[in-house]
Amino acid sequence: MNEFKSRSFVCVCVCVCARTLALAAL
């Protein structure tokens, strides 16, 4: 469960970073 939670947290961080970069590019 801990591994899944960590992986999910990393996925969320990547999604947020990608979204921020996309908005910055615009």
- Tokens read off for 26: 């615009």
pLDDT of residue 16: 98
What is the length of the chain?
26
**Predicted structure pTM score:** 0.60
How many domains does one find in the chain? Answer: 1
pLDDT of residue 19: 98
Distance of CA 26 to the CA centre of its chain: 19
Q: What proportions of the chain, in percent to the nearest 5, are helix, strand and coil?
A: 90, 0, 10
pLDDT of residue 2: 84
Expressed as residue numbers, the domain containing 22 is 1-26
Residue 9 vs residue 4, higher pLDDT: 9
Q: CA-to-CA distance for 26 and 19, rounded, in angstroms? A: 11
pLDDT of residue 26: 83
Q: CA-to-CA distance for 10 and 23, rounded, in angstroms? A: 20
- What pLDDT, in 10s, does the model give residues 12-23? 999 999 999 999
One-letter identity of residue 20: T
